[in-house]
């Protein structure tokens, strides 16, 4: 039976059949990159279908159990049914959330960048705290995480860092985190133990793979190479392999140092740059469409989206949805689903 949207198992099963036919061809693995993308899509589709099918079976079983209880009541079976109903409710809410991620690129991998704001060592330390938070969130969701760029601060923390987050809906979830994040706390770097306010910005860009049709003129690029540092391996840190690419028309800067060769870093940096330019093009089209429809435009990237207060009280508050919690340390350990989910539902 076809339910539509995320629950459209009929069309998904058709797509699964198409992909499995491709995988059975003798030449399937001739293009390894494309083969891996197909296998990933196939895995995600099967997982999605299994979620819906198993949920429907559970609902059907519980309906049958409810009918039996009408005929002959049993307290133990009734308690089991109530437990199942709660589990089904939670499962439906999770699936409902996925239906809100309807844009094609919501399912893509993404690049998440954290940049320290003004404030010296305090801001760099705050950026490192955010970077750790997102790493813990991503690994907790079983996403693959790869460090793309990492520049340590002069005394502590980081000036900037980027990770590639791989997995279904990585961009869909993490796009909710784009913006400026504010920290208020008693500074561990202040001898007088005064309260400080620090800022860090988060940028999230979907990885468009080979679908990017952006053409970049060579004269629009400034490419610099330098010695890698920070979280790289032994070979990375001893050669001038890091690459910084500047797109001059928009002053966009992309750096990459996780690969062992300068050429590989340049290729990765250009891929990320194309994804950034593609996202700018998409966002421009969406803003124009909203303007035509008379809808309010979404807050720009530079706005402050969330505050993390550790003194004189404990609270994390999202200024877009007004969702808040007093458990700051849990949030900084990567428990940010409440903010992501409330933003998507809003």
State the pLDDT at residue 4.
Answer: 47
Other C-beta atoms lying within 10 Å of the C-beta of residue 137: 23
State the pLDDT at residue 43.
Answer: 84
Q: In what order do the strands lie in the sheet with 144-152?
A: 144-152, 158-166, 110-116, 195-206, 179-186, 304-309, 315-318, 324-325
State the pLDDT at residue 297.
Answer: 35
State the pLDDT at residue 181.
Answer: 96
Could you name the CATH architecture of 5-99? Answer: Up-down Bundle (1.20)
Could you name the CATH architecture of 104-345? Answer: 2-Layer Sandwich (3.30)
Domain borders along the chain are: 5-99, 104-345
Q: What is the pLDDT of residues 17-31, one digit of tens each?
A: 998 999 999 898 998
State the pLDDT at residue 289.
Answer: 64
Q: What is the pLDDT of residues 253-264, one digit of tens each?
A: 999 998 888 999
State the pLDDT at residue 109.
Answer: 93
DSSP string, 122-170: HHHHHHHHHHHHHHHHHHHTT-EEEEEEEEE-SSSSEEEEEEEEESTTH
- Contact yes or no for 185/127 (Cβ under 8 A): no
State the pLDDT at residue 327.
Answer: 97
Residues of the chain with pLDDT under 50: 1-4, 232-238, 293, 295-302
State the pLDDT at residue 52.
Answer: 85
What is the pTM (predicted TM-score) of this model?
0.77
Q: What is the pLDDT of residues 320-343, one digit of tens each?
A: 999 999 999 999 999 999 999 999
């Amino acid at each position: 039976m076809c339910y539509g949207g995320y629950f459209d198992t009929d069309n998904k099963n058709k797509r699964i059949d198409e992909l499995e036919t491709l995988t059975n061809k003798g030449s399937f693995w001739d293009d390894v990159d494309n083969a891996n993308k197909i296998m990933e899509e196939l895995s995600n589709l099967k997982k999605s279908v299994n979620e819906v099918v198993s949920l429907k079976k559970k609902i059907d079983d519980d309906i049958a159990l409810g009918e039996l209880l009408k005929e002959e009541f049993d307290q133990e079976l009734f308690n089991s049914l109530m437990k199942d109903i709660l589990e089904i409710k939670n499962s439906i809410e999770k699936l409902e959330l996925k239906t809100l991620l309807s844009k094609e690129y919501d399912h893509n991998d993404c690049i998440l960048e954290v940049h320290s704001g003004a404030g010296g060592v305090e801001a760099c330390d705050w950026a490192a705290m955010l970077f750790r938070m997102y790493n813990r969130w991503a690994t907790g969701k079983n996403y693959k995480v790869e460090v793309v760029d990492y520049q340590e601060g002069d005394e502590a923390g980081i000036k900037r860092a980027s990770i590639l987050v791989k997995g279904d809906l990585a961009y869909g979830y993490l796009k909710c985190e784009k913006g400026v994040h504010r920290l208020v706390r008693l500074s561990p770097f202040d001898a007088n133990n005064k309260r400080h306010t620090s800022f860090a910005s988060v940028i999230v860009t979907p990885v468009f793979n080979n679908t990017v049709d952006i053409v970049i003129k060579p004269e629009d690029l400034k490419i610099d190479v330098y010695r890698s540092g920070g979280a790289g391996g032994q070979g990375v840190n001893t050669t001038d392999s890091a690459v910084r690419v500047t797109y001059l028309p928009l002053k966009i800067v992309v750096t990459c140092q996780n690969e062992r060769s300068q050429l590989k870093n340049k290729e990765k940096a250009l891929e990320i740059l194309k994804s950034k330019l593609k996202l700018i093009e998409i966002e421009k089209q969406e803003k124009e469409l909203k303007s035509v429809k008379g809808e309010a435009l979404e807050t720009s990237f530079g706005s402050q989206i969330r505050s993390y207060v550790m003194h004189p009280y404990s609270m994390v508050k999202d200024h877009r949805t007004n969702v808040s919690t007093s458990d700051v340390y849990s949030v900084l350990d990567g428990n940010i689903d409440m903010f992501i989910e409330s933003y998507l539902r809003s």
